[in-house]
């Protein structure tokens, strides 16, 4: 299973309550569930939820755990404060207008001492796609900003989270999106070259050699950047005496 977030670095443990905000078809939900977590996925788009919700519930029943998906907005999460031990938000912030509010919501629902992983496209890859064509940013549901990691880290800090580490992922996917940008996103799915590379990526997920190549490419042309941040505990109350 191809994951952007390293669940080891997320410090995911059996029994953890995990939120995947912007879960799509739930790859991180399934990954966390397999590691013993109790998982809730949330997405604004209903279509992927209709595909993934039933399989996630079924797998959760097999593991005697929780696996649920619901439609919702990352800017207004329908959960009480400090509900989750771990929170994932993968490839979402570049789509939302008020990413600072999204950061505040992610922090709000995370328990003090819990960990958050937020992933965004790298600025290098985004600028490359933009040079190759406008479709990547002008297609419906496309990206509305190119992030600088420092801006995201500041938004998390302002929300009460301390960034503890950075990771990179999906170096093999950068050429794929370069091809799609060259062909033009509206026409990309009909391109033989794009489809051939897509099949290569599918096969590569099961190859140790390709996994090694991807790790090497992550130092050169990663598609995604991941910030790992800890939810800071509130300051201890001081005596008024």
pLDDT, tens digit (0-9, with 9 covering 90-100), for 139-149: 666 788 888 89
pLDDT, tens digit (0-9, with 9 covering 90-100), for 82-138: 999 999 999 999 999 999 999 999 999 999 999 999 999 999 998 888 888 777 677
The model's pTM is 0.91
Question: What is the pLDDT, as a whole number, of residue 180?
Answer: 87
Are β-strands 84-90 and 161-169 bridged in parallel, bridged antiparallel, or unpaired?
unpaired
pLDDT, tens digit (0-9, with 9 covering 90-100), for 20-69: 999 999 999 999 999 999 999 999 999 999 999 999 999 999 999 999 99
207: pLDDT confidence band, cut at 50, 70 and 90? confident
26: its two tokens:
């739930």
Hey, what CATH topology would domain 73-231 get? Rossmann fold (3.40.50)
What is the edge-to-edge ordering of all strands in the sheet holding 161-169?
67-71, 38-43, 17-21, 84-90, 110-121, 224-231, 161-169
**pLDDT beyond 60 at 176:** yes
How does the average pLDDT of the chain come out, rounded?
A: 91
Write b or e for each residue in 119-143: b if 16 or more Cβ atoms lie within 10 A of its Cβ, otherwise e: bbbbeebbebbeebeebbbeeeeeb
Using DSSP, how many helices (H) and how many strands (E) does the chain show? Answer: 10, 7
Question: What is the pLDDT, as a whole number, of residue 239?
Answer: 42
Contacts of 83 (CB under 8 A, 6+ apart): 17, 19, 109, 111
């Amino acid at each position: 299973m191809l994951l952007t977030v390293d669940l080891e670095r997320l410090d995911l443990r059996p029994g953890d309550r995990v939120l995947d905000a912007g879960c799509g078809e739930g790859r991180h939900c399934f990954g966390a569930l397999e590691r013993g977590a109790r998982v809730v996925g949330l997405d604004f788009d209903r279509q992927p939820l209709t595909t993934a919700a039933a399989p996630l519930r079924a797998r959760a029943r097999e593991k005697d755990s929780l696996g649920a998906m619901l439609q919702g907005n990352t800017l207004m999460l329908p959960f009480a404060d400090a509900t989750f031990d771990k929170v994932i938000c993968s490839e979402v912030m570049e789509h939302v207008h008020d990413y600072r509010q999204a950061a505040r919501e992610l922090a709000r629902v995370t328990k003090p001492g819990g960990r958050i992983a937020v992933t965004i496209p790298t600025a290098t890859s985004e600028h490359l796609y933009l040079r190759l064509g406008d479709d990547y940013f002008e297609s419906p549901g496309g990206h509305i900003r190119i992030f600088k990691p420092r801006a995201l880290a500041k938004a998390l800090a302002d929300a009460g989270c301390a960034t503890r580490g950075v990771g990179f992922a999906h170096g093999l996917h950068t050429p794929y999106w370069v091809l799609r940008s060259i062909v033009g996103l509206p026409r990309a799915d009909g391109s033989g070259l794009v489809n051939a590379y897509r099949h290569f990526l599918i096969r590569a997920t099961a190859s140790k050699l390709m996994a090694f190549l991807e790790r090497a490419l992550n130092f050169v042309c990663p598609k995604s950047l991941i910030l790992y941040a800890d939810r800071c505990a509130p300051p201890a109350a001081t005596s008024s005496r």
